[in-house]
Amino acid sequence: MTRPVVVGVDGSDASSHAVDWAVDEAVRHGLPLRLVYASLWERYESDPAEPMTAGDVVAAAAERAGRRNPDLEITTAVVPEEAAAALVRAGADAFALVTGSRGRGRLKGLLLGSVGLAVAARAHCPVVVVRGDRAGLAGTHERILLGLGDADTGTDAVRFALREAEVRGCVLDAVRAWRRPAYDRGGHRLPDAERPDEYEEQAADLLAALLREPVAEHPHVRTRRTTLEGPPGRVLVDRSAAADLVVVGARRRTGHFGLQLGRVGHTLLHHAQCPVAVVPQR
């Protein structure tokens, strides 16, 4: 069975941007598109001045998607569930889940809507939160940014990023941030000149190890490898200004029911200047 690109819709402007992005993604990969609207709390989320029923929401989203690409296979679903739970369920057989960065409820002014955050933290497929400035949304930078963490969160994210770079004809910019501790294990302050090259070499070695096999599987993708000193979240947010998509990994711990999203992913979902893909390690 062909796995679709699934996008959550709710009638908001952010949802419209997500639909546009998801259409382009489905076309790039030759996949169908599935539009999902979770209607459980519809009466509380609708704007009294512009009321929209579940049918209105999915019809408008399907029309928009069809205008963007008339040849795309599009299906719709209205699910009487809470939004995050409905999307996580829909992602069980999805290529990727796509959401907007904000909803249309009373809390739409938040940096990131609660639905997008919950889906990115819980889904077992890649989740893309569509956010960023006009250039980032347009995908004109021809660059995929990959933030590499530890080995247990990075392998699937590397492969996802390489596939994205390949279908788009983009450069893959693989980045590993590194930092020097301020104190040694005995609690003594380390001088600023204390061998910074040691930490940079460790970062470069990990970067090379994580990229070696996946890059060999995609020989036509141009890859740049960069190690930078600084907090990973800040480094990636800064570099996201010149990227079409930033990709990071996440770990899903069996039996853990809370939010499973690292600090770097959380930072990017709130502050990145382009769409963010969170890829769980399976």
Matching residue, tokens 């909803």? 103
**Would you say the C-alpha torsion 9, 139, 260, 6 has a positive or negative sign?**
positive
Count the alpha carbons within 13 Å of 273 in the hemisphere toward its beta carbon: 14
For the chain, give percent helix, strand, coil, nearest 5: 45, 20, 35
CA nearest to 100, candidates 3, 5, 20: 20
pLDDT, average across residues 114-124: 86
pLDDT tens profile 253-268: 655 444 467 889 989 9
CA dist 17 and 130 (Å) reads: 7
17-21, 105-109, 192-196 — most confident range: 17-21
CA dist 255 and 21 (Å) reads: 33
pLDDT tens profile 179-228: 876 655 666 666 665 566 788 888 999 899 999 999 999 999 999 999 99
